[in-house]
Amino acid sequence: MIQFKKVAFYTLGCKLNFSETSTIARLFEDAGFAKVDFEDTPDVYVINTCSVTENADKKCKQLVKKALKTNPSAFVTIVGCYAQLKPEEIGKIPGVDLVLGANEKFDIISYIENTDKKEEATIAYKNIKETKSFVPSVSFGDRTRSFLKVQDGCDYFCTFCTIPLARGKSRNATIAETVLEAEKIAKTDIKEVVLTGVNIGDFGQGNDENFFKLIQELDKIKGIDRYRISSIEPNLLSNEIIDFCLSKSAHFVPHFHIPLQVGNDRILKAMRRKYERSLYAERVSHIKSLRKDCCIGVDVIVGFPGETDEEFLDSYNFLQGLDISYLHVFTYSERANTSAPKLGETVSMEKRKERSKMLHILSDKKKRAFYEENIGSERIALFEAEEDEGMMYGFTENYVKVKTPFDASFVNQFRKVKLNAIDRDGIMKIDLSN
């Protein structure tokens, strides 16, 4: 009997993983489990893993140790990208009882007959080429925002990336099915929905349906105030999508996160990216021509094999010249079954760290400049539930983080604010307007 047991979850990696963890949690709740915090001595732990970087793999092992320290008799299950890529390796981690691949994780309850510890881990996975179904996922109750999974998998096979090996081919539900999932969110008190996936701009895969048609239909739903697009490839971010979000939509916010990875064309080609930097610059220019206040985030990788000092500086200077708002900087790490390590001389860890530091400093400067441009403007902020030393935080429609003294009546509510000044932590101080 597994009813009346407690289960806890820990999610590593991207917003897509958060949406899937929430869906898996509801499967446990439907089976009679009570969802509790990680430290609340649960009977079952579910760790949803990432494998974008080597650190994510190490973090998984650390979490298993932490779980067993809290409850040595807990049943430990590992799912997610790392579980699909290296199931046998994970199965050998002391204390792991169950490892489920991409096909199996949404059938997790059927694999848990009881919560007794096992002498040897049960491992269930199929070749990723057999993963063809799309399982809708949406997060409820975990945060002010809801993450709505609209797409999974990727057909791009960039030379540094293991995600196609962990998640399979690009796939999605129909627009009608996706709208039904969004309508479930609209019936809750959630105010903001983040559209997430591996490569969401590839929605429809060239069929009659596509991402542009999807967002047009989502925009019509009553009960959802805001949509954000989590991340979209620059070659798939068409001008019609930009124009719709910034000029015609009632609910899509002026905020794009557009992965670049590197600002040097030779390295872009070696990465097997599907654009040159000129296209990226055109996308940024078009966005800013419509909405100067639009927030633009950028993913960047440093230390790709063969990246010379001159190529890094070329990339740095390109980024410096772009009208962008912040960077997410990733240090390249060698991943098994990718071709990148064969493409050039290994960049030393010392240089990788040095380049990462330079880009983090540039990101801080870009973010501060963007915030300074917003000082004096009036915005609508959505406030979150967390309290930190008497303060609470929220985000404006264009992703400026704001702070104000904690007021429980503000949680998950929109408030008109005037952006006043930037504090020492880089957060915007505000005046509240009625």
Q: Quick one: DSSP state of residue 129?
A: G
Predicted pLDDT of residue 330: 94
Take residue 342 and report the two structure tokens written for it: 């064969």
What dihedral do alpha carbons 255, 260, 261, 262 form, nearest 10°? -130
pLDDT band at 142 (very low <50, low <70, confident <90, very high): low
Instruction: Name the residue among 10, 29, 14 with its Cα closest to residue 78.
Output: 10
Instruction: For residue range 103-125, list pLDDT tens digits in order.
Output: 899 999 999 988 888 989 999 99
Q: Summarize the chain as % helix, strand, coil (round to 5).
A: 35, 20, 40
Opening angle at CA 365, ends 360 and 371, nearest 5: 125
Predicted pLDDT of residue 357: 98
CA distance 329 to 335: 17
Residue 193 has pLDDT above 70, yes or no: yes
Query: In 3-state terms, what secondary structure has residue 224?
Result: coil
Q: pLDDT above 70 covers what percent of the chain? A: 97
Instruction: For residue range 256-272, list pLDDT tens digits in order.
Output: 999 999 999 999 999 99
CB 42 within 8 A of CB 36: yes
164, 345, 402 from 76: Cα distances, Å: 26, 40, 38
CA distance 52 to 432: 40
CA distance 295 to 342: 36
CA distance 123 to 105: 11
Query: Where do the structural domains in the chain lie, given as residue ranges?
Result: 6-130, 132-253, 378-432
Predicted pLDDT of residue 433: 66
Q: Class for domain 132-253, per CATH?
A: alpha beta
Does domain 6-130 correspond to CATH entry 3.40.50.11890? no
